[in-house]
Structure 1
Amino acid sequence: MNTVTPAIGLTIEERGEILGIADGIAWISGLPSAQRGELLDLEDGSYALADQLDEKLIGAILLHPSRSIAAGTGVRRSGRRLTIPGGDTLLGRVVDPLGRPLDGLPAPQRTTPFPLEAPSPSITARTVVSRPLYSGNTIIDTLLPIGRGQRQLIIGDDGTGKSALALDAVIHQIGQNVRCVYVLIGQRRAAAIEVIDLLTQSGALAHTTVVVAEASALPGIQYLAPFAGCALAEGWMRAGHDVLIVFDDLGQHAQAYRELSLLLRRPPGREAYPGDIFYLHSRLLERATALAPEHGGGSLTALPIVPTQLGELAAYIPTNLISITDGQIYLSHPLFAAGILPAIDIGRSVSRIGGKAQDRPIAREAGRLRLDYLQFLELEMFTRFGTRLEPGMSERVARGHLLRELFRQGRLEPRPITYQMAWLIALNQGWLDGLDANALVPLLAQLARHTASAPILTAPREQWIAAVSGWLGRS
Structure 2
Amino acid sequence: MPTTSMKNNIAHRFEQLDKGIADHVFAFAPQEVGHVTSVATGIVKVSGLGGVGFEELLKFSEDLYGIAYNLDEEEIGVILLGEDTLLNAGDEVQRTGRVMDIPVGDHLIGRVIDPMGMPIDGKGAIPISKRLPIERPAPAIMDRMAVNAALQTGIKVVDALIPIGRGQRELIVGDRQTGKTQIAIDTILNQRGKDVLCVYCAIGQRASAVAKVIANLEEKGAMEYTVIMVAEGNSTAGLKYIAPYAATSIAEHFMEEGRNVLIVYDDLTHHARAYRELSLLLRRPPGREAFPGDIFYIHSRLLERATHLSDNLKGGSLTALPIIETEAQNISAYIPTNLISITDGQIYLSPKLFEAGILPAVDVGKSVSRVGSNAQLPAYKSIVKLKLQYAQFEELESFSRFGTRLDENTKKIIDHGERIRSCLKQNELHPLTVSQQIVVLLALTNGLFDDVAIDKVREAEAGILKSMDQFPSELLKRLFADQQLDSADHDLILKTAGDLLASFKEKVESDQTPK
TM over 0.5: yes
* Residue among 175, 181, 192 paired with 1:157: 175
SS in 1 for 2:148: coil
1:122 offset after TM fit, Å?
A: 0.4
* Residue among 409, 427, 432 paired with 2:426: 409
CA contact (8 A) 1:27 1:58 kept: yes
CA contact (8 A) 1:146 1:357 kept: yes
Aligned to 2:374: 356
**Can you list the C-alpha shifts for 1:347-390, whole angstroms capped at 9, x where unaligned?**
1111111321111111x112121111111111111222222223
Normalization by structure 2: what TM-score? 0.87
* Residue among 424, 431, 434 paired with 2:441: 424
1:317-336 correspondence to structure 2 within 5 Å? 317-336=335-354
1:456 aligns with 2:472: no
Report the residue type matching 1:470 in the other structure: T
* Residue among 234, 239, 246 paired with 1:221: 239
Aligned to 1:189: 207
1:69-468 correspondence to structure 2 within 5 Å? 69-362=87-380, 364-451=381-468, 454-457=476-479, 458=481, 460-461=485-486, 462-463=488-489, 465-467=491-493
Aligned length: 472
In 1: Cα distance, 2:23 partner to 2:110 partner: 50
Over 3 Å counting, the alpha-carbon distance change for 1:411 and 1:20 in structure 2 is: same
Over 3 Å counting, the alpha-carbon distance change for 1:262 and 1:387 in structure 2 is: same
**Bigger CA radius of gyration:** 2
In 2: Cα distance, 1:347 partner to 1:65 partner: 45
Over 3 Å counting, the alpha-carbon distance change for 1:34 and 1:349 in structure 2 is: same
SS in 2 for 1:180: strand
% same residue: 45
1:229 offset after TM fit, Å?
A: 1.0
Normalization by structure 1: what TM-score? 0.94
**4+ runs deviating over 6 angstroms:** none
1:23 offset after TM fit, Å?
A: 1.5
In 2: Cα distance, 1:193 partner to 1:101 partner: 15
1:470 aligns with 2:496: yes
In 2: Cα distance, 1:2 partner to 1:30 partner: 26
1:396 offset after TM fit, Å?
A: 1.4
In 1: Cα distance, 2:387 partner to 2:256 partner: 36
Query: Which 5+ residue runs of structure 1 have no aligned equivalent?
Result: none
In 2: Cα distance, 1:108 partner to 1:318 partner: 36
SS in 2 for 1:473: helix
SS in 2 for 1:227: helix
Deviates more, 1:381-390 or 1:37-46: 37-46
Aligned to 1:24: 42
In 1: Cα distance, 2:140 partner to 2:28 partner: 39
In 1: Cα distance, 2:411 partner to 2:397 partner: 10
CA contact (8 A) 2:255 2:261 kept: yes
Query: Which 5+ residue runs of structure 2 have no aligned equivalent?
Result: 1-17, 503-515
CA contact (8 A) 2:198 2:227 kept: yes
Deviates more, 1:49-58 or 1:284-293: 49-58
CA contact (8 A) 1:422 1:464 kept: no
CA contact (8 A) 2:203 2:231 kept: yes
Over 3 Å counting, the alpha-carbon distance change for 1:11 and 1:260 in structure 2 is: closer
Structure showing the higher helix proportion among its residues: 2
In 2: Cα distance, 1:430 partner to 1:270 partner: 50
In 1: Cα distance, 2:164 partner to 2:447 partner: 28
SS in 1 for 2:37: strand
1:437 offset after TM fit, Å?
A: 3.0
1:456 offset after TM fit, Å?
A: 3.3
Q: Could you say what the CA RMSD is over the residues aligned between the two structures, in angstroms?
A: 2.4
1:51 offset after TM fit, Å?
A: 1.3
Aligned to 2:506: none
SS in 1 for 2:107: helix
**Can you list the C-alpha shifts for 1:223-267, whole angstroms capped at 9, x where unaligned?**
111111111111111111111111111011100110111111211
1:447 offset after TM fit, Å?
A: 2.5
1:445 offset after TM fit, Å?
A: 1.4
CA contact (8 A) 2:83 2:236 kept: no
1:87 offset after TM fit, Å?
A: 0.9
CA contact (8 A) 1:446 1:471 kept: no
Deviates more, 1:12-21 or 1:212-221: 12-21
